[in-house]
Amino acid sequence: MKDMKPYVIAGPCSAETEEQVMTTARGLKDAGVEVFRAGIWKPRTRPGCFEGIGVPGLPWLQRVQSELGMKVCTEVAGARHIEECLAHGVDILWIGARTTANPFLVQEIADSLRGTDVPVLVKNPISPDLGLWIGALERLARAGVKNLGVIHRGFMSLDEHRYRNAPQWQIAIEMRTRYPALPFYCDPSHMSGKAEYVPEICQKAMNLGLDGLMIESHCNPSCALSDASQQLTPAEVGRLLRSLQTRDSDTQDSLYRGTMEQLRERIDGYDEQILDALAGRMEVSRQIGEIKKSNNVAILQMQRWDEILEGIRAEADARRLDSAFVLKVFNAIHDASVQEQNKVIQEG
């Protein structure tokens, strides 16, 4: 699965009708896609939504295989799904985010796959829990499933975010670092939740050197029975794939760029932590200013600051950081803090 870059899996969120499946698959074949995805059983948040066509949709996937020569894949969430997929010759299975989060179901799936050689792609769990994701892979590997891969589809987050699911790229990078040989896909559709954001995420995945993409595509997205806002038409998928800047053929260089992207992602993460820490520290400093004001105490407590600096110098040495540089940073932070407390005292 790793020969072609990127390896693209595309198709509708859900198989709805035979015509929708065939029209979408034909369009995707023309766009150069070789593996067709379609959800047959759909895990919906609320009952009463379209929960998938079920077993009657499997022969449609067989038509895609025989008429278009494409491979097909679908989501499985338990033993019965696997039995039906194997009986209908589905080429690749994937485990959805909600199922990866449930070790009982993953174990049931692993047990039913014992002795088969069908490839299985494991989506990250809904919550940002690397252990759960790895645990699912381990359960499958222990049952003898050899052809494994992962799909990064982002994580549920309570924070406001541009995307439906927060990418948390550092978790994906950690997974990639631990299992560098594992085929690694990005699902920009469930990550973004919006068709217009899909291309930028695909490019990001390419920049990180990931192996493939799983993109949702529907012949008529606005009428889709599930995930209507995030699906591209097959023609849009074609345009997107042509516009993607894939990694250079020069191996040295592509390795360099992939690694640099990953390292920069980590730097961005640290910068964010530094900013959060500065904001938190300044808030505490303001509160101290209030207390000093109501108790009529001077802002500058030089003895305390000298003690702090001594401690920081030792901590910097222990971390093999240049202590002169670290002291410069902390003195600047302290100055800003004193100014802030000054403002508090002068207020009112």
**Contact footprint for ligand PEP (CB under 6 A):** 13, 39, 43, 75, 96-98, 123, 153, 187, 190
Cβ–Cβ under 8 Å, residues 211 and 199: no
Choose among Mn ion, ligand PEP, none what residue 97 binds, the Cβ cut-off being 5 to 8 Å by kind.
ligand PEP
**Is position 198 an interface residue for Mn ion (rule: CB under 5 A)?**
no
225 or 316, CB closer to ligand PEP? 225
The CA-CA-CA angle for residues 49, 64, 33, to 5°, reads: 90
94 or 207, CB closer to Mn ion? 94
CB of 175 to Mn ion, least distance (A): 21
Choose among ligand PEP, Mn ion, none what residue 71 binds, the Cβ cut-off being 5 to 8 Å by kind.
none
28 or 316, CB closer to ligand PEP? 28
The 10 Å Cβ neighbour count of residue 266 is 13
CB of 197 to ligand PEP, least distance (A): 15
**Is position 344 an interface residue for Mn ion (rule: CB under 5 A)?**
no
**Candidate ranges 92-100, 159-167, 219-227, 282-290; the one touching Mn ion (CB under 5 A):** 219-227
Which of 105, 227, 289, 337 contacts Mn ion by CB under 5 A?
A: 227
Q: Which residue is nearest to ligand PEP (CB)?
A: 96
One-letter amino acid of 166:
A
123 or 247, CB closer to ligand PEP? 123
The CA-atom distances, in angstroms, between 215 and each of 84, 141, 342 are 24, 26, 55
CB of 123 to ligand PEP, least distance (A): 5
**Is position 13 an interface residue for Mn ion (rule: CB under 5 A)?**
yes
155 or 211, CB closer to ligand PEP? 155
Reference 136, options 170, 95, 191; nearest CA is 95
Which residues on adjacent β-strands are paired with residue 94? 75, 121
CB of 42 to Mn ion, least distance (A): 8
CA 129/CA 101 separation, integer angstroms: 9
E-strand ranges in 54-140 read 71-75, 92-95, 120-123
Question: Helix or strand or coil: residue 11?
Answer: strand
Question: Helix or strand or coil: residue 198?
Answer: helix
CB of 252 to ligand PEP, least distance (A): 34
Is the torsion defined by CA of 107, 148, 55, 17 positive or negative? positive
Convert 129-158 into a string of H (helix), E (strand) and C (coil). CHHHHHHHHHHHHHCCCCCEEEEECCECCC
**Is position 75 an interface residue for Mn ion (rule: CB under 5 A)?**
no
Choose among Mn ion, ligand PEP, none what residue 153 binds, the Cβ cut-off being 5 to 8 Å by kind.
ligand PEP
Chain residues binding Mn ion by CB under 5 A are 13, 227
